[in-house]
């Protein structure tokens, strides 16, 4: 079974600075998807960024980018120019790419609570 580990329960960063959240995962599959979800105090889960394992290029979405190291099974999220609205719980998630019944579930890490200091 796949597992996802986020070793940083809490992180804080000064507004406008850059912060990196860590995520490692364990899988025997060669193709899969990785995601970062944001959960603000409202508790809704919002998709931040997605990475396909077969792509070598790291995904970017505006101020959010990832550092995907497939061999190391590492998938970190970098937030540049941090804003107060970035304060949230961030979850890393894994999903298999197998097109078989039941392969679509997301496996989440424990989450990292990010605080932005003004």
Partner 1 sequence: EPEVTQTPSHQVTQMGQEVILRCVPISNHLYFYWYRQILGQKVEFLVSFYNNEISEKSEIFDDQFSVERPDGSNFTLKIRSTKLEDSAMYFCASSEGSWREQYFGPGTRLTVT
Beta bridge partners of 60: 65
List 27, 73, 108, 115, residue binding partner 1 (CB under 8 A): 108
C-alpha distances out from residue 53 to 10, 27, 37, 57, 74, Å: 27, 12, 17, 9, 11
**35 in contact with partner 1 (CB under 8 A):** yes
Shortest distance, position 110 Cβ to partner 1, whole Å = 5
**37 in contact with partner 1 (CB under 8 A):** yes
Closest CA to 89 of 25, 46, 33, 34: 46
Q: State the number of binding residues for partner 1 (CB under 8 A).
A: 25
List 24, 67, 74, 107, residue binding partner 1 (CB under 8 A): 107
**63 in contact with partner 1 (CB under 8 A):** no
**103 in contact with partner 1 (CB under 8 A):** yes
Q: Measured between alpha carbons, how far is 56 from 65 in angstroms, rounded to an integer?
A: 13
* Strand duo 46-52 + 60-61: pairing: unpaired
Q: In this structure, how many other beta carbons lie within 10 angstroms of the beta carbon of residue 45?
A: 14
Q: Which range, of 13-21, 39-47, 54-62, 66-74, touches partner 1 by CB under 8 A?
A: 39-47
Binding site residues, partner 1, CB under 8 A = 33, 35, 37, 42-47, 50, 91, 93, 97, 99, 101-111
């Amino acid at each position: 079974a796949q597992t996802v580990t986020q070793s940083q329960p809490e992180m804080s960063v000064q507004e406008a600075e850059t912060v990196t959240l860590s995520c490692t995962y364990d899988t025997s599959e060669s193709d899969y998807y990785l995601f970062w979800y944001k959960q603000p105090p409202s508790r809704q889960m919002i998709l931040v960024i997605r990475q396909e394992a077969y792509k070598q290029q790291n995904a970017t979405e505006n101020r959010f980018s990832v550092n995907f190291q497939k061999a190391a099974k590492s998938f970190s999220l970098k937030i540049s120019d941090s804003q107060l609205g970035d304060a949230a719980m961030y979850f890393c998630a894994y999903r298999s790419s197998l097109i078989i019944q039941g392969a679509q579930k997301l496996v989440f890490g424990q989450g990292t609570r990010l605080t932005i200091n003004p």
